[in-house]
Amino acid sequence: MKKVDHIGIAVRSLEETLPFYTNILGFACIAIEEVLSERVKVAFLDATNMRIELLEPTDSTSAIAKFIEKRGEGIHHIAFQVDSIEKRISEFKINGIRMLNEVPKEGAAGAMIAFIHPKSAHGVLYEICEKKPLEGNDS
Ligand code: CMX
């Protein structure tokens, strides 16, 4: 596993939440994007040695909408960068880890992503992500 790529935080409204992160915490907002497959609108903030991803649901069936309904706003997942997502998924499966995605899917900024079921990770939702080579894997 490489470094933490980002921490995902579920929010009701990007518009209402962003000023806290930019004006109060002082982080720059580096991108805002809609991820259609996940039914979320996301904002990435540069938190120096990693990023914070704010996730606003775009419809009531989105995983983020369900999460907020059950638990309220808050930390939703932690994402680690990996070199080869397919290799990692196979290794996890061999070790009996339950994957929510056995085939990587495209996430924000074209990265390939997959989630481990929180029941296989002691209550934490982990994402692994393989970024596009041209991005320079440090951002
Ligand atoms: N962190 C830790 N545990 C979580 C969790 C989270 N974010 N979300 C759900 N859980 C737990 C629940 O508390 C529940 O545990 P209990 O049975 O002990 O109560 C268990 O996981 C099952 O949860 P659920 O609410 O019954 O099931 P859901 O239908 O809500 O599905 C999950 C949960 C994780 C399987 C689903 O949200 C999922 O498939 N997530 C992966 C995709 C995703 O999260 N996309 C949004 C982000 C996209 C992006 O980053 O671009």
For residue 67, is it within any domain? yes
For residue 91, is it within any domain? yes
Structural domain boundaries enclosing 109: 4-134
Pick from 98, 105, 125, 131 the residue to mutate for probing ligand 1's pocket: most ligand atoms within 8 Å of its CB. Answer: 125
Ligand 1 centroid – CA 53 distance (Å): 17
- Give the strand order in the sheet containing 126-130: 28-35, 40-46, 51-57, 4-10, 74-81, 126-130, 112-116, 105-106
pLDDT higher than threshold 50 for residue 65: yes
Determine the atom of ligand 1 nearest the C-alpha atom of 79.
Answer: 50
Region of poorest pLDDT, from 28-32, 46-50, 72-76: 46-50
Pick from 55, 77, 130 the residue to mutate for probing ligand 1's pocket: most ligand atoms within 8 Å of its CB. Answer: 77
Residue 134: band (very low, low, confident or very high) from pLDDT cuts 50, 70, 90: low
For residue 139, is it within any domain? no
For residue 111, is it within any domain? yes
pLDDT higher than threshold 90 for residue 6: yes
pLDDT higher than threshold 90 for residue 2: no
For residue 34, is it within any domain? yes
Tokens at 61, concatenated: 């069936």
For residue 75, is it within any domain? yes
Q: Tell me, what CATH number does 97's domain have?
A: 3.10.180.10
Measured CA to CA in angstroms, residue 129 lies from 9, 23, 30, 96 at distances of: 16, 29, 18, 20
Q: Over pLDDT 70: what percentage of the chain?
A: 96
Residues touching ligand 1 (Cβ under 6 Å) are 8, 35, 38, 40, 55, 63-64, 66-67, 70, 76-77, 100, 107-108, 115, 117-118, 123-125
pLDDT higher than threshold 70 for residue 77: yes
For residue 83, is it within any domain? yes
Strands 51-57 and 4-10: what pairing? parallel
Task: Supply the pLDDT for residue 113.
Answer: 96
Question: Which pTM was predicted?
Answer: 0.94
Number of domains comprising the chain: 1
